[in-house]
């Protein structure tokens, strides 16, 4: 008796095999083929090593689906099931990874298209699918990075770095030339040790060395670049301009709106005063009242107040426009090539062009009586200017050394530095502007590049393959200087939108 009980317990505890969906479709399809040949269902089940009750359950489930029998037969067949799997994975890849619609909309899409008859559309089921997709993407990235790094030639790269706090702290690093992601990982902090640990892991196996690193003035990033990366820190020109906008343009805009309201109110008071004056002239005297009528303000006084308000508005508007032009001048000056003349810029010219706009902004802020907080923000932007000058000088020296390593004759080397590299840089700047604004830059680049290959030019004696190789090298060197981490900011914005959509 005890032996029988133990046997029953063992049979109850024995796990029932769970059929894989693709294997289930193949077995069911084979059973239908055998039955079409005249073999009974019991014999087909025995031949396929599938319980007959299981085949009957599969048939019952297929017959119970509320869909056309042809559609059911297709999605229950191995080719149809493979297509269904590929379709669901494609929806997850495009909607939740490339886009940012979230899994709830994926569930809704599967439900509205009627695929919920063949796919589990609950949030939990689709969350498991999405997790598998993300794990596959990460695994593929690691495998491809390791494979491509083996044949990667040694090269110098520029890194743009920043941190975003949307949905938790995430450290982001991109390579601006190719817009490739080096690092995008959640982190407990953004101090220099954390940056060093994550960037070391991201750059492991890559035969590359970072020359400049473009970012904001975050202390952790500055310390990492100086102590661990060993590269030149390139200040982001946007953050310098943004600091000046917050320090000066914003308060001036507030004063301008207040002055505009004052001027409007002064003009609106003129008509009532004119009416009061006309009424006072036409009103008869009332003797014996013992009271003198209060004299209305004169029209001249009101006109003077309106004129003073207009002058104040014009003055503040002019000051604000001067500040805006100075801020734009900083952006125009932070180039290693003069975008108006197409020549490389030296250190003295760079220092003068960067410091002159700052010198024009501070007197305006002091004259308008801005707060000490605004002046401190200006000081923060002014302290970055020497680093901007040092970065341009560093990049110019680095480009000069790399051109010297090419082993080309001196006339060719000079032509590359004076004409070819500036022309490539102007074309790169033109791509960041509108078509009309970039056309003069493209024309200037063409004027610089065309004489090189003409008879008597520096490249005239070179073969076409050599000219093409030098042009490719010039494009690489023109991309060394990166004055903005806009691609990282854009990536941060994309992550913010994605996190916003994924919140319930």
Which comes out higher in pLDDT, residue 270 or 50? Answer: 50
Taking residue 453's Cβ as centre, other Cβ atoms within 10 Å add up to 14
Q: Given this model, what pLDDT does residue 1 score?
A: 41
Q: Is 252 buried (19+), middle (13-18) or exposed (0-12) by CB count in 10 A?
A: buried
Clarify whether residues 250 and 228 are in a common domain. no
* Confidence band for 194, pLDDT divided at 50, 70 and 90: very high
256 assigned to some structural domain: yes
pLDDT over 60 (residue 405): yes
pLDDT over 70 (residue 8): no
* Confidence band for 502, pLDDT divided at 50, 70 and 90: low
Clarify whether residues 259 and 163 are in a common domain. no
Closest to 339 (Cα-Cα) out of 416, 256, 432: 432
Among residues 87, 117, 143, which one ends one of the domains?
A: 143
Overall pTM surpassing 0.85 (yes/no): no
21 assigned to some structural domain: no
Distance separating alpha carbons of residues 459 and 105, to the nearest angstrom: 58
CB 441, CB 429: distance < 8 Å? yes
Clarify whether residues 257 and 365 are in a common domain. yes
Distance of CA 337 to the CA centre of its chain: 25
Clarify whether residues 242 and 378 are in a common domain. yes
Dmax (CA) of the chain: 133
112: phi then psi, degrees, rounded to nearest 5: -70, -30
How does DSSP assign 109-172, residue by residue? HHHHTTGGGTS--SHHHHHHHHHHHHHHHHHHHHHHHHHHHHTPPPEEEEEEEEEE-TTS-EEE
Which comes out higher in pLDDT, residue 412 or 502? Answer: 412
Share of the chain above pLDDT 90, in %: 20
Clarify whether residues 163 and 121 are in a common domain. no
Clarify whether residues 225 and 188 are in a common domain. yes
Q: What is the mean pLDDT of residues 316-328?
A: 91
CB 496, CB 164: distance < 8 Å? yes
Task: Domain count for the chain, please give it.
Answer: 3
Distance separating alpha carbons of residues 304 and 463, to the nearest angstrom: 77
CB 455, CB 207: distance < 8 Å? no
Which comes out higher in pLDDT, residue 455 or 6? Answer: 455
70 assigned to some structural domain: no
407 assigned to some structural domain: no
pLDDT over 80 (residue 175): yes
Distance separating alpha carbons of residues 393 and 374, to the nearest angstrom: 30
The 10s digit of each residue's pLDDT in 108-122 is: 999 999 888 888 999
Clarify whether residues 101 and 193 are in a common domain. no
Q: N- to C-terminal Cα distance for the chain?
A: 58
3-state helix, strand, coil in the chain (%, to 5): 70, 5, 25
Report the mean per-residue pLDDT for the chain. 83
Clarify whether residues 229 and 242 are in a common domain. no
Clarify whether residues 229 and 243 are in a common domain. no
Range of the domain at 132: 78-143
72 assigned to some structural domain: no
Which range among 14-28, 131-145, 214-228, 241-255 shows the weakest confidence by mean pLDDT? 14-28
Q: Given this model, what pLDDT does residue 9 score?
A: 45
- Tell me whether strands 170-175 and 155-164 are parallel, antiparallel or unpaired: antiparallel
491 assigned to some structural domain: no
For residue 214, what are the CA distances in angstroms to 149, 425, 484?
24, 17, 6
91 assigned to some structural domain: yes
Clarify whether residues 224 and 197 are in a common domain. yes
Q: Given this model, what pLDDT does residue 139 score?
A: 92
Which range among 19-23, 50-54, 79-83, 244-248 shows the weakest confidence by mean pLDDT? 19-23
Among residues 143, 160, 193, which one ends one of the domains?
A: 143
Among residues 143, 161, 190, which one ends one of the domains?
A: 143
How does DSSP assign 180-218, residue by residue? EEEEEEE-S--SHHHHHHHHHHHHTT--EEEEEEEE---
Clarify whether residues 177 and 112 are in a common domain. no
Q: Given this model, what pLDDT does residue 501 score?
A: 66
Clarify whether residues 308 and 271 are in a common domain. yes
pLDDT over 80 (residue 422): yes
Question: Which residue is associated with the tokens 């590269």?
Answer: 231
346 assigned to some structural domain: yes
* Beta partners for residue 441, in sequence order: none
CB 472, CB 406: distance < 8 Å? no
The 10s digit of each residue's pLDDT in 269-307 is: 766 765 565 555 555 555 555 444 554 556 677 778 888
Which comes out higher in pLDDT, residue 461 or 24? Answer: 461
Which range among 186-195, 310-319, 488-497 shows the weakest confidence by mean pLDDT? 488-497
For residue 172, what are the CA distances in angstroms to 82, 100, 493?
37, 18, 12
Q: How many separate helices (H) and strands (E) can be counted in the chain?
A: 21, 5
């Amino acid at each position: 008796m005890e032996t029988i009980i133990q046997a029953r317990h063992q049979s109850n505890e024995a796990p029932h095999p769970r059929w894989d969906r693709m294997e289930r479709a193949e077995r069911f399809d084979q059973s239908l083929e055998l039955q079409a040949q005249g073999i009974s269902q019991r014999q087909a089940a025995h031949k396929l090593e599938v319980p007959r009750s299981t085949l009957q359950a599969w048939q019952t489930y297929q017959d119970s689906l509320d869909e056309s029998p042809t559609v059911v037969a297709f999605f229950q067949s191995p080719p149809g099931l493979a297509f269904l799997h590929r379709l669901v994975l494609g929806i997850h890849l495009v909607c939740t990874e490339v886009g940012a619609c979230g899994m709830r909309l994926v569930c809704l899409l599967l439900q509205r298209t009627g695929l919920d008859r063949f796919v589990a559309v609950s949030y939990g089921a689709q969350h498991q699918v999405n997790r598998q997709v993300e794990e596959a993407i990460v695994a593929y990235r690691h495998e491809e990075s390791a494979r491509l790094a083996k044949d990667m030639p040694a090269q110098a790269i520029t890194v743009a770095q920043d941190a975003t706090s949307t949905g938790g702290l995430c450290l982001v690093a991109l390579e601006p030339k190719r817009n490739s992601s080096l690092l995008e990982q959640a982190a407990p902090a953004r101090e220099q040790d954390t940056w060093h640990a994550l960037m070391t892991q991201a750059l492991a196996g890559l035969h590359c060395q970072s020359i400049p690193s473009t970012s904001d003035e975050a202390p952790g990033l500055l310390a990492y670049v100086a102590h661990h990366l060993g590269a030149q820190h390139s200040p982001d020109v946007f953050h310098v301009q943004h600091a000046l906008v917050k320090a000066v343009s914003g308060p001036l805009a507030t004063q301008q709106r207040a002055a505009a309201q004052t001027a409007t109110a002064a003009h609106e008071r003129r008509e009532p005063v004119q009416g009061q004056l006309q009424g006072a002239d036409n009103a008869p005297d009332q003797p014996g009242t013992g009271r003198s009528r209060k004299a209305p303000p004169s029209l001249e006084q009101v006109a003077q107040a309106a004129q003073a308000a207009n002058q104040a508005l014009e003055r503040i508007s002019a000051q604000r426009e001067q500040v805006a032009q100075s801020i734009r001048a900083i952006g125009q000056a932070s180039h290693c090539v003069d975008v108006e003349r197409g020549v490389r810029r030296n250190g003295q010219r760079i220092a003068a062009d960067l410091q002159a706009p700052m010198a024009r902004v501070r007197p305006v802020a002091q004259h308008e009586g801005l707060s000490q907080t605004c002046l401190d923000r200006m000081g923060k932007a002014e302290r970055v200017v020497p680093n901007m000058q040092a970065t341009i000088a560093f990049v110019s020296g680095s480009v000069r050394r790399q051109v010297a390593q090419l082993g080309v004759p001196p006339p060719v080397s000079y032509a590359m530095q004076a004409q070819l590299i500036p022309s490539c840089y102007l074309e790169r700047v033109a791509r960041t502007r509108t078509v009309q604004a970039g056309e003069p830059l493209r024309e200037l680049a063409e004027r610089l590049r065309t004489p090189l290959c003409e008879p008597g030019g520096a490249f005239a004696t070179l073969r076409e393959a050599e000219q093409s190789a030098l042009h490719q090298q010039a494009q690489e060197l023109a991309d060394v200087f990166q004055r903005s981490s806009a691609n990282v900011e854009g990536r941060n914005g994309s992550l913010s939108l994605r996190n916003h959509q994924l919140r319930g």
